[in-house]
Amino acid sequence: MKRAVFPGSFDPLTLGHYDIIERGLKLFDEIILAIGVNAEKKYMFTLEQREHFLKESFKDESRIKVMTYEGLTVDFCNKTDSGFILRGLRNPADFEFEKAIAHTNRKLAQIETVFLLTSSGKSYISSSIVRDVIRNGGDYTGLVPDAVRI
């Protein structure tokens, strides 16, 4: 079975994430949406809310699992018998950042990283932009799946 981990904070889940996940299902038998927990980071949404966003958005897709983890992503991949990490790229800066992480992960655990380019109509969406729109009372509904519209 080809299993991939799609790691992130998903604070919140965006249509950019959703795009990568849906397209990743064409490549993998199963995708684990892995919510990374970092005690040092301040989140807008609670872990429970973020889990709900993911589970609700993919409730009809049996090949998607939602889990949380702490520590190295490669350790989580080994623990879940996942041979791949799925990542989305919006721009060249994302590529440079993700490339260094992918090389490190491959060195640590022989985990392959698969990059998908975000669809052009969604490449400008990021969780940090969505959080800023929400904080400032803007209409963020066109940036997130229905489950995130609070």
Q: Is 135 annotated as a binding residue?
A: no
DSSP 18: H
Cα 113 to Cα 54: distance, rounded to the nearest angstrom: 21
C-alpha triplet 125, 71, 109: angle, nearest 5°: 95
Catalytic residue among 90, 99, 106, 131: 90
Q: Is 123 annotated as a binding residue?
A: yes
Q: Is 52 a catalytic residue?
A: no
Q: Is 17 a catalytic residue?
A: yes
Q: Is 57 annotated as a binding residue?
A: no
Q: Is 90 a catalytic residue?
A: yes
Catalytic residue among 50, 57, 82, 127: 127
Q: Is 131 annotated as a binding residue?
A: no
Q: Is 120 annotated as a binding residue?
A: no
Q: Which pairing describes strands 84-89 and 3-8: parallel, antiparallel, or unpaired?
A: parallel
Q: Is 63 annotated as a binding residue?
A: no
Q: Is 69 annotated as a binding residue?
A: no
Instruction: Give the active site residues.
Output: 17, 41, 90, 127
Which residues make up each annotated binding site for substrate?
A: 9, 41, 73, 87
Which residues make up each annotated binding site?
A: 9-10, 17, 41, 73, 87-90, 98, 122-128
Which residues make up each annotated binding site for ATP?
A: 9-10, 17, 88-90, 98, 122-128
